[in-house]
Amino acid sequence: MSPRSIPLGVLLLVACGPDIPPRAAQDVERETTGDDTQARLEEDLARVRVAMRELCGTHCGSVVLIAEPGVRSAETRPQAPGYASFIAYNPRARDCARHPDASIRFYCMAHEYGHHLDVTMNPAWSSDGWTRELRADALAGCAFARAHVSMDGIQGTLVRAVLLDTPAGRARAEACGSDGAHPGFRFSWDALHRGARLCSERTPTLPEVAESVEALALAARSSSIEAFSREAGGDCSPR
């Protein structure tokens, strides 16, 4: 997105950084999409933020939701390290951000907010893409538990929403990830449940939630390559 297409209030939020209190993000001028997608996602994101507030405390930072037709799917963009992120979504794409199932949209916003907490607000963020994705999923699972949103029945829908439509594409994505930055879905599902279990039992710290999937990220790399070679007759080399 070019600077001219970003609302002035958003630019001021990022440019001024910590001098603007976190709640100011709620007053930023919103981009409209011609339907109720933005409003629904704002509501979903607000629920996620409330659910995670006790974990991040005074270090929650600010997030601004923006509609950007050029993005492939929802993504988090750190703008001011230690303070602010954009969450961009495509108002025309049929991905999790525009899914009719409220639980899927909640996952979408919870996952992206997890990236905000892990990358923007965490000085010790990982340089490994799969680790970052699994941390975001664990934090999303925590949001599900704390917001009392059920994950029952969403697994199949998520697989169809995020994986490729062909059998070969699904097999490869399950084993190697849908692209070079994302692990196989079964590992994401495991991370979601780990975060949900942890936050159902107590109020952990953000590092504790992130650390709950460190070993899973390492296991995903080795077992995915072996499984794909054995079950699908291929390899996980980049395409």
pLDDT of residue 227: 53
CA–CA distance, 209 with 199 (Å, rounded to integer): 8
pLDDT of residue 2: 34
Measuring CA to CA, how many Å separate 47 from each of 51, 129, 145, 153?
6, 26, 12, 20
CA–CA distance, 64 with 178 (Å, rounded to integer): 26
Burial letters 58-83, b for 16+ CB under 10 A, else e:
eebbbbbbbbbeebebbebbbbbeeb
The low-confidence residues of the chain, meaning pLDDT below 70, are: 1-35, 156, 159-180, 221-239
CA–CA distance, 188 with 190 (Å, rounded to integer): 5
CA–CA distance, 4 with 17 (Å, rounded to integer): 19
pLDDT of residue 94: 76
Least Cα distance to 116 among 75, 66, 58 occurs for: 75
pLDDT of residue 77: 93
Q: Angle at CA 180, nearest 5°, toward 176 and 184?
A: 30
Q: Angle at CA 189, nearest 5°, toward 132 and 176?
A: 65
pLDDT of residue 185: 78
pLDDT of residue 178: 61
Least Cα distance to 107 among 168, 158, 59, 42 occurs for: 158
Domains in the chain, start-ordered, CATH in brackets?
A: 3-232 (1.10.390)
